[in-house]
A and B are shown apart, each in its own frame.
Chain A
Amino acid sequence: MGFQNSIILTGIIVVLLHTMAGQAQDGGDFVTIPKGQYTVGKKGHVLNPFRRVRVDSFRIATRETTNAQFDAFIKATGYVTDAERKHDALVYKPVLQEFEWFNDSTASWRYPNGMIRGGIENKMAHPVTSISYSDILVYCRWAGVRLPSLDEWEIACRAGTTTDFSFGNDTALLSKYANTWHGKDHLMPDSTDGYLFTSPTGSFAPNAWGLYDMYGNVFEFCSGKLKAYPSPTVAHARGGSWWCSPNSCHFFNSYDIGRTNIHASFSNQGFRVVK
């Protein structure tokens, strides 16, 4: 019996350790993801097939980078963003058809959807937007941080799950976790979840590892390339945004990987950092 009991106990310990492996720890602004092997991707997804990946330990921000943080960077460096130089930020305004964006020459991170729709004075806790991937790399160098790789972002987003969302496969639960677009189309503004554009970071429920806004709010740029898009001018972002609706950009999930030009600035694109 003693031998049997010790085997059973060993088995229980092994199962517990297996369950704990890969669970993030910490608290505060960053969460540590332990070194190890994780499952990413989705069966049948051409860009992101279901597979195992191994990563080193990394620390990922619990929230998306805010206007306040970007403001500190601008004040310290005097950096001028792509959209400010080129006056080509693309923004949302009501009555646009699906997938249409308005090129507002007044839009930049200070006025994410153009001057007429207001500045960020009262939105310093919102994620910074209307910045390009190219701008973000400069910010990261200044702040001593980096973007997550495509795999790191997904590992953090999934929080140990293999389902479409970290909370399972039920899209109806998304509104608890994410600031997305609830309207049928984009002809009329939609703020049924309390927000027309971005929300302050952390306004919705976190995933099991304490990470907020992994779905919705803003697309989050990642480092790394996909084989299908070797162009040096293409960057990849993940996680969906406030603009994304079930009827158009069905992108608020754990597996999709988007692509856009490294100098494109949209009012639904932002980032979170890793260190």
Chain B
Amino acid sequence: MKPLYLFLLLCATTICSQAQDEGEAWKEPSKESRAYHTYRNYMSEPSYGKLKILGLLKKLTPDEDDNEKLKQSDYLSLTLREKFTYHMMHGESYSQNCDARPPIQDEHKKIFGRLPEMFGENNWSERQVQFLRSNKDSVMQWIKECVAKEKRLGLNLKHAIVDINAREMIPFLISTYKTDKKDHDILTVLMLLMKNNEYKEFMVSTSNKKLYGDEINSYDAFLNFNIPNEELIIKRATDFYNGLPK
């Protein structure tokens, strides 16, 4: 009877193991975590010609080709400020094939290496990015005006700051962060500026290795949010800014 007993035991073990695997429930992030997720995905809506832009966006109702790009004539008729509003509210190009990120546990306790996506399956087109880069000084000013009005630095504004490499805005970013120290993605912007400009002190740091190292998926990588990490990022960014050619 021993061989039969072993066989039955083997089957029972296998079934038990499968049941455990399949029975493991997905843990929902905490209420605080979900609230912060909503908070950090806030998109600013610049007021320059906002109603006009909203009207034009309604005209963009996808045709059979799902065109999402404003006609050149309509685009050229916009003022510079209106173009800025349009770009902050709409991505003209397709996003690459990327998955939706699973819910993040304790999102509010993390400083991420990258910003969340802005427009789902869409992104800024080249003409949009080119506009932002070509009008860098104005864009930085409009961002400041937008923040002054909304008391928030929306996700789209953060992406714009990184895309135009607005390292001149570091003091503004730090002061905005310090108003309530709630928006950890501002710290992410500071680190992206240091990384993209290859600031030596940051490039050799443990933070850089942890967030953008060779063997990790940096899209998900994060630092724990705590006072020492917060202060270290701000100090490094300040030193980086102070060392920039004036």
Q: Given the complex of chains A and B, what is the CA–CA distance between A241 and B98 in angstroms?
A: 11
Q: Select the stretch in A60-68, A115-123, A138-146, A243-251 that faces chain B.
A: A243-251
| Residues A90 and B93 in contact, CB atoms below 8 Å apart | yes
Give the most central of A237, A250, A257: most B CB within 10 Å. Answer: A250
Q: Which of chain A's residues has its CB closest to B2's CB?
A: A4
Among the interface residues B22, B24, B66, B94, which one has the most CB atoms of the partner chain A within 10 A? B94
Q: Are the CB atoms of B65 and A82 closer together than 8 Å?
A: yes
Q: Output the nearest chain A residue to B28 by Cβ-Cβ distance.
A: A46
Q: Answer whether A251 and B65 are a contact pair too, CB < 8 Å, given A8-B3, A102-B126, A103-B93.
A: no
Q: Residue of B at shortest CB range from A263?
A: B66
* A269/B97 contact (C-beta < 8 A), A247-B216, A248-B219 known: yes
Tell me whether A101 is interfacial, beta carbon within 8 Å: yes
Please state if A8 and B94 are interface contacts (CB–CB under 8 Å).
no
A268 to B94, CA, bound (A): 14
Given contacts A43-B24, A103-B126, A234-B121, is CB(A8)–CB(B7) below 8 Å? yes
A30-58 residues at the B interface, CB under 8 angstroms? 43-47, 49-52
Which of A45, A52, A102, A248 has the most chain B CB atoms closer than 10 A to its own CB?
A248
Kindly list chain A residues whose C-beta atoms are within 8 Å of the C-beta of B97: 219, 237, 241, 249, 251, 258-260, 266, 268-269
B residues less than 8 Å from A86 (CB atoms): 65
Q: Contact between A250 and B96 (Cβ–Cβ < 8 Å)? A: no
Chain B residues, Cβ within 8 Å of A266: 94, 96-97
Residue numbers in A under 8 Å from B66 (CB-CB): 233, 261-263
- Provide the residues of chain A in CB contact with B99, threshold 8 Å: 47, 251, 256-259
| Chain B residues within 8 Å of A44, by CB | 24, 26-27, 102
Q: Are A4 and B3 in contact (CB under 8 A)?
A: yes
**Chain B hits for A268, CB < 8 A:** 96-97
28 A-B contacts (beta carbon < 8 Å): A4-B3, A8-B4, A8-B7, A45-B102, A46-B26, A50-B21, A52-B22, A88-B93, A90-B96, A102-B126, A103-B125, A219-B97, A231-B121, A233-B62, A233-B121, A234-B121, A246-B214, A247-B212, A247-B214, A247-B216, A250-B220, A259-B98, A260-B94, A260-B121, A261-B66, A263-B66, A266-B96, A269-B97
Q: Which positions in B face A, CB cutoff 8 Å? A: 1, 3-4, 7, 21-22, 24, 26-27, 62, 65-66, 93-100, 102-103, 121-122, 125-126, 196, 212-220
